[in-house]
Amino acid sequence: MAEEIHILKVEKDGEDGLIVTFSDGTKAGYVVEELLLLRPLRETVKEPVDSN
């Protein structure tokens, strides 16, 4: 059975991007347009989430 991969760290990259570090040692960069395609129906949030 394959090992479960999870997110270790997320960093802001510029004004519209993120760099995600995964538990298998890989990193991936995403921009807002890509994230919107992954989740086209977004929920409203009452207060911003602190993403240290």
pLDDT of residue 41: 73
Contacts of 8 (CB under 8 A, 6+ apart): 21, 22, 23
For residue 23, give the DSSP letter.
Answer: T
| Cα–Cα distance, 52 to 48 (Å, whole number) | 12
pLDDT in tens, the chain (52 residues): 578 999 999 999 999 999 999 999 999 999 988 888 877 677 777 876 676 6
Both tokens of 21, joined, read 């570090």
Note whether 39 and 49 are within 8 A (CB).
Answer: no
Task: Tell me how far apart the 2 most distant CA atoms of the chain are, in Å.
Answer: 40
For the question of whether the overall pTM of this predicted structure is more than 0.75, the answer is no
